[in-house]
Amino acid sequence: MAETKAANPAVRPLFATQARWRPQEIAFWLLPIVAYVLFPDYLALARDVAIAALFALSLDLILGYAGLVSLGHAAFYGLGAYSAGLLAKAGWGEPFSGLLVAGAVAGILGLATSFLIVRVQHLALIMITMGVGFLLHEAANRAAFITGGDDGLQGVAIWPLFGKFTFDLYGRVAFIYALVVLFLVFLVARRLIHSPFGLSLRGIRENLVRMPAIGAPVQRRLQTAYTIAAVMAGIAGGLQAQTTQFVSLEVLSFERSADVLIMLVLGGTGRLYGGLIGAAVFIVARDQLSDMNPFYWYFWMGLLLVLVVLFARGGIIGGAERIWTLLRHRIGGRT
């Protein structure tokens, strides 16, 4: 076996191309810079997109890659938000360490609940994720003396970034801050996806039964993925708390969990960029249509979900892939 190891030249490129940065990816990351230049009045919205994108990315890790259906991911988002908010309110307003705390606290909850998550499937899994979400929401509601309850957490005072950049009224600093954090976490996620661990997550998603049969410790893998996703969601929540300087109960709501699920599915699960694209489309659409009766929004969103499930599984990216393949065949057919 030893002499064949390095000698096969055909093998080396096969995996290498996966992890290389493609031109579409570079183009994608130029878009926020373009947005910054072209839409200086919409930076608060752009900031929201970046935060939602991070949240959706964290869900993609467990849903798109590991195949765990969670209807309670907002628990980590909200816990991160309240952690960062309470820390600042208590007097420590340094943003980066605040994010670390937000991620860490959410990660602890993620690790704790991961023991429950990996032992159940299907309905029980959905119920437990929902249950943890409702539990946290109720707890935050009852503990209004800490969280501010329905009025929300106020007095979240964040110190300037690096001691120099205060969060300005136009939202410039906030947007850049959120974008940079998103990008850094994205890099970590991207590495993870292309690693052996990422491959094993996809294996778990594709066939749960086969994994132990090739020697994989499935529960341990899922727990790790779930915890990492919780940390990422917590950081996203922390970003929201710090950039808006306010935290409301809504960050722990079922609606939040449902929204991020919709964003991810809209963009396309298991495709790394799906959550980012879906978040952008969802947030921008909701903003543009906000003067519409909110109930129309729910109707069309519901219809869109039904249509996506029936005809466009794979979301926007899936649809784009199919169009691309069709075009390639057409072009290939002609020449």
Partner 1 sequence: MSDIALATVDLSKSFGALNATRAVNFALPVGARHALIGPNGAGKTTLINLLTGLLAPSAGRVLLAGQDVTRLRPDLRVKRGLTRTFQINTLFPELTALEAVTLAVCERIGVAGDWRRPVQKYRDAVAEAHDILSSLNMAQWCEQRTRQLAYGRQRMLEIALALATRPKVLLLDEPAAGVPSGESEELFQVISALPGDIAILFIEHDMHLVFRFASRIIVMVSGQILLEGTPAEIAADRRVREVYLGNAAIRHG
Partner 2 sequence: MFLSFLGVMFDGIAYGMLLFVMSVGLSVTMGMMGFINLAHGAFAMLGGYVCTTLMNQYHWPYLLTLPAAFLAVVAVSVILERGLYRRLYGASDLDQVLLTIGLVFMSVATMTFFWGTAQQPVNLPSYLSGQWSLGGVGLGFYRLFLIGFGVAVSGLLIFTVERTSFGATVRAAVDNQKMAAGIGINVNGVFAVTFAIGSGLAGLGGALGVNMVGLDPTFAVKFLVYFLLVVSVGGLNSIGGTLTAALVLGVSDVAGKYYVPAVGAFIIYAVMVALLMWRPNGLFGRRS
156 conformational bin, left if phi > 0, alpha if psi -120 to 50, beta if neither? beta
308 contributes a contact to partner 2 by CB under 8 A: yes
Give the count of beta carbons closer than 10 Å to the beta carbon of residue 28. 13
Instruction: Tell me how far apart the alpha carbons of residues 75 and 109 are, in angstroms, rounded to a whole number.
Output: 9
Q: Give the residue with the Cβ less far from partner 1, 90 or 209.
A: 209
Q: Coil, strand, or helix at residue 153?
A: strand
**Secondary structure of residue 70 in the 3-state scheme:** coil
Q: Is residue 172 part of the contact set for partner 1 (CB under 8 A)?
A: no
Residue 21 β-bridge partners? none
- Tell me: does residue 224 bind partner 1 (CB under 8 A): yes
What's the min distance (Å) between Cβ of 335 and partner 1? 23
Minimum CB separation of residue 218 from partner 2 in Å reads 16
Helical axes 294-311 vs 254-267, angle rounded to 10°: 50
Cβ distance to partner 1 smaller for residue 142 or 210: 210
Terminal CA-CA length for the chain: 44
- Stretch in the footprint of partner 1 (CB under 8 A) among 112-120, 172-180, 206-214, 245-253: 206-214
Residues 6+ away with beta carbon under 8 Å from 189 = 57, 61, 232, 272
Residue 325: CB atoms within 10 A of its CB come to 10
Task: Name 228's Cβ contacts closer than 8 Å, sequence gap at least 6.
Answer: 61, 107, 110, 192
List the single partner that 111 binds among partner 1, partner 2, none, CB under 5 to 8 Å by kind.
Answer: none
Orientation angle between helical segments 254-267 and 43-60, nearest 10 degrees = 80
Q: Is residue 6 involved in binding partner 1 (CB under 8 A)?
A: yes
Interaction of residue 305 with partner 2, rule CB under 8 A:
yes
User: Residue 62 interacts with partner 2 (CB under 8 A)?
Assistant: no
**Cα angle 149, 75, 115; round to 5:** 135
Which residues are CB-contacts of 111 (< 8 A; sequence separation ≥ 6)? 223, 226, 227, 230
Q: Which does 308 bind (CB under 5 to 8 A by kind): partner 1, partner 2, none?
A: partner 2
Question: Smallest gap, in angstroms, from Cβ of residue 213 to partner 1?
Answer: 6
Interacting residues with partner 1 between 74 and 133 (CB under 8 A): none
Q: How many Å apart are CA 46 and CA 116, to the nearest integer?
A: 36
Q: Which two tokens stand for residue 128?
A: 């437990």
Based on the shown chain and the rule CB under 8 A, indicate whether residue 299 belongs to the binding site for partner 2.
yes
Q: Which does 295 bind (CB under 5 to 8 A by kind): partner 1, partner 2, none?
A: partner 2
Instruction: Indicate whether 333 belongs to the interface with partner 1 (CB under 8 A).
Output: no
Residue 81 CA: distances (Å) to CA of 88, 183, 224, 262, 286: 11, 19, 22, 21, 22
CB closer to partner 2 out of 125 and 174: 125
Check residue 124 for interaction with partner 2 (CB under 8 A): yes
Of 12 and 122, the one with the shorter C-beta distance to partner 1 is 12
Interface with partner 1, residue 21, by CB under 8 A: no
- If one asks whether residue 289 binds partner 2 (CB under 8 A), the answer comes out as no
Please identify, using beta-carbon distances, which residue of 171 and 275 lies nearer to partner 2: 275
Give the nearer residue to partner 1 in terms of CB position, either 155 or 212: 212
**Spatial distance between the Cα atoms of 187 and 191, rounded to a whole number of angstroms:** 6
Question: Which positions lie near partner 2, rule CB under 8 A?
Answer: 63, 69, 71, 116, 119-128, 130-132, 134-135, 138-139, 142, 254, 258, 261-262, 265, 269, 295-299, 301-306, 308-310, 313
Binding site for partner 1 (CB under 8 A): 1, 4-6, 8, 10-12, 14-16, 18-19, 191-192, 194-200, 202-203, 206-207, 209-218, 220-221, 224, 228
